[in-house]
A and B are shown apart, each in its own frame.
Chain A
Amino acid sequence: MNDERELAISPIVVTSVQHNTQVVSNIRNLTASLFGVAAGTLGLESYPGFIFYLVGTLIVSALIYAFRAEGKPSEYFYRPLGDLWGGDVFSGLSGFVLTWTLFYGLVRA
């Protein structure tokens, strides 16, 4: 109820939300395959690889926070925690595993 009233007072521009989500998911997909290349070349296996991915996405989130959102994520994301820090982390995971296994097989094995 409270939420609804706040949205009535300060409405949200849907096209901007869509645009921002698209930008974040684009960055996530590109960087996820990049981290896969690094993880495979470093020869990481099992849990260290996934931890590498999580650390990498955290760094990318911090970069988006600093350079794209200019330190004010609530201006650009409806739920900053879910949309910026956690947005599309698991959709990039498949791309990560793809390039991870590919480069592990090409370089290390």
Chain B
Amino acid sequence: MPFLGTTLNTVGLLFLTHAVYSAHEHTATFTHAALPLDVTFELLVSIAMLSAGIVLSSPDLKPIQWSQWAAKIERGGRHGEGKWTREGEELLSEGDPYAFLGLDKGIGGKGEGRRGFWDVRGKRKEYAEWAREGAK
């Protein structure tokens, strides 16, 4: 379903751009003439495709009745939607919105950066290795 939505959006945007460009060219050459039928048709088709694509690529609705909502969780397990931590807690926020900047380890890979979560297992492993080396 997401694939279909993205395809519809992409093709629709291409058609829309082409239709608007054609309309612009047409009015630039013949002012005050009615828009040709094919341009109108392309425009309407592109709008229909884009709105279908937007609806299809939007997130799923959630049932509002408590019984159905609970039944959905029971059936699909608690890991059905959204993001979850390894401990089974749902991540309600979007997380770090600036993660794409790659500043997790600070500028230039030095410094503490913006770490919100401390990797306990990795640190424990690191400590175990350090302790083992120290014992020799």
**Hey, which bits of chain A sit against chain B, CB under 8 A?**
10-13, 15-17, 19-20, 23, 26-27, 30-31, 34-35, 37-38, 41-43, 56, 59-60, 63-64, 67-69, 75-78, 103, 106-108
With a cutoff of 8 Å between Cβ atoms, the chain B residues found around residue A103 in the complex are: 20
Task: Tell me the nearest residue of chain B to A66, going by C-beta.
Answer: B55
Chain B interface residues (CB < 8 Å from chain A): 16, 19-20, 23-24, 27, 35, 40, 43-44, 47-48, 50-52, 54-56, 58-69
Q: Can you list 11 A-B pairs with a CB-CB distance of less than 8 A? A: A10-B66, A12-B65, A13-B65, A16-B64, A19-B59, A19-B61, A27-B54, A31-B51, A35-B47, A41-B23, A63-B51
Kindly state the separation between the CA atoms of A19 and B24 in the bound complex, as whole angstroms.
40
Q: Please determine whether A13 and B40 come into contact, CB atoms closer than 8 angstroms.
A: no
Say yes or no: B51 contacts A37, CB within 8 Å. Answer: no
Q: Complex: how many Å from CA A104 to CA B37?
A: 18
**Minimal beta-carbon separation of B111 from chain A (angstroms):** 37
Please give me the residue from chain A that is nearest to B25 by CB atom: A107
Given contacts A41-B23, A41-B43, A68-B60, contact A31 B65 (CB under 8 A): no
Give the docked Cα–Cα distance between A102 and B63 (Å): 39
Contact between A67 and B55 (Cβ–Cβ < 8 Å)?
yes
Q: Are B20 and A107 in contact (CB under 8 A)?
A: yes
Taking A19-B62, A108-B23 as given, write out 19 further A-B residue pairs in contact, using a Cβ cutoff of 8 Å, ordered by the A residue number. A10-B67, A16-B62, A19-B61, A23-B59, A26-B58, A27-B55, A31-B54, A34-B47, A34-B54, A35-B47, A37-B47, A41-B20, A42-B23, A42-B43, A56-B47, A56-B51, A75-B63, A75-B65, A75-B68
Complex alpha-carbon distance, A68 and B56, angstroms:
8
- Indicate if the CB atoms of A13 and B66 lie closer than 8 Å: yes
Assess whether A76 is in contact with B58, with CB atoms less than 8 Å apart. Answer: no
Q: Which residue of B lies closest to A28 (CB)?
A: B54
> Cβ of B62 and Cβ of A38 under 8 Å apart?
no
- Please name all residues of chain A whose beta carbon is closer than 8 Å to the beta carbon of B66 when the two chains form the complex: 10-13
Residues of B contacting A41 with CB < 8 Å? 19-20, 23, 43
Query: Are the CB atoms of A34 and B58 closer together than 8 Å?
Result: no
Task: Say whether B58 contacts A68, CB under 8 Å.
Answer: yes
Ordered nearest first, which 8 A-B pairs have the shortest CB separation? A16-B62, A76-B61, A11-B66, A63-B55, A13-B69, A16-B64, A38-B47, A41-B23
